[in-house]
Amino acid sequence: MDEIGQFKRKIKIKVRFSDLDAMRHVNNATYLSYLEEARIDYFNELFNRKKESLDFEAVIGRIEINYLYPIVLGDDVEVFTRVSKLGTKSVDVEHIIAVKKGNDLIKAATSLTKLVFYDYKTQTTKVIPEEVKETIAKFQGLAH
């Protein structure tokens, strides 16, 4: 998984029994929670916010998930996160969810999330603040 080197942030996830479905693997809907945890961690770390901070002016416009390998109870899960594209009002956040088996990482899922910057007072989309774009671009090595 050479492309993992392009991802600048990683979190570890503990699979809980409640994450499982009747087939004894992580339920497809639970992947959304894993992605959410990774996304919050990424932006909190990037903007030096407290771990419990939810102060981020964006909403999810779209999420795509490709399920590649089942995750089961006891698996060591790592979620890799990066911003791959900066738009005027949105960013593309990519994830790789991987399972560690010995020294190998097995790609369990890939994801693309479109985050749209949003003004909660006016209930409308908004242009990404320049300082936010600059911080992301510098961290990810993106042009903006």
pLDDT digits (tens, 9 = 90+) for 8-26: 899 999 999 999 999 999 9
Confidence at 140, pLDDT banded by 50, 70, 90:
very high
* CA-to-CA separations, 113 to 2, 22, 73, 75, 104, in angstroms, rounded: 21, 27, 26, 24, 26
Per-residue pLDDT, averaged over 46-73, amounts to 86
Number of domains in the chain: 1
Per-residue pLDDT, averaged over 82-87, amounts to 96
Confidence at 4, pLDDT banded by 50, 70, 90:
confident
pLDDT at 3: 82
92 alpha carbon, distance to own chain's centre:
10
**Does the pLDDT at position 89 exceed 90?**
yes
- Domain encompassing residue 18: 2-140
Backbone angles phi, psi at 22, to 5 degrees: -65, -20
pLDDT at 29: 94
pLDDT tens digits, one per residue of 35-47: 999 999 999 889 8
pTM of the model: 0.91
Exposed (0-12), middle (13-18) or buried (19+): which is 17, by Cβ within 10 Å? Answer: exposed
pLDDT tens digits, one per residue of 121-136: 999 999 999 999 999 9
Q: In CATH, what number is assigned to the domain containing residue 22?
A: 3.10.129.10
